[in-house]
Amino acid sequence: MSVHSSHDLAEEFPEHAERIRSLVLVDGKFSKAVQSYGEVNLEILRIENELETASDEHLETLKKKRLHHLDIIQQALQPIEHTGT
């Protein structure tokens, strides 16, 4: 059995840890994305660490879901660019 990276958000975005905690409290969409990311990520880790079984196709589908949630989270963490008017 091999141990895989946890891919938790503190590992993915260490420079944004405080902002993530703040946004979870005030932004419902962001909070839902963080929760969904965590659930999917945990399921992937359980499969990769052979605590659960799944087909390769199911694992790939889960990884795509994790990336989707990660994209939503990353977009929310991007600084807002102001255009000069």
Number of separate domains in the chain: 1
Residue 63 lies in a domain: yes
Residues of the chain above pLDDT 70, percent: 88
Q: Using CA atoms, how far apart are residues 22 and 73, in angstroms rounded to an integer?
A: 13
pLDDT tens per residue, range 61-81: 999 999 999 999 999 998 765
Q: What is the per-residue pLDDT for 81?
A: 56
DSSP secondary structure code for residue 11 in this structure: H
Angle 28-48/56-77 helices, nearest 10 degrees? 150
Residue 57 lies in a domain: yes
Domain that holds residue 72: 11-77
Q: Using CA atoms, how far apart are residues 21 and 44, in angstroms rounded to an integer?
A: 23
Mean pLDDT score across all residues of the chain = 90
Q: What is the per-residue pLDDT for 7?
A: 86
Q: Is the pLDDT of residue 1 over 60?
A: no
Q: Is the pLDDT of residue 5 over 80?
A: no
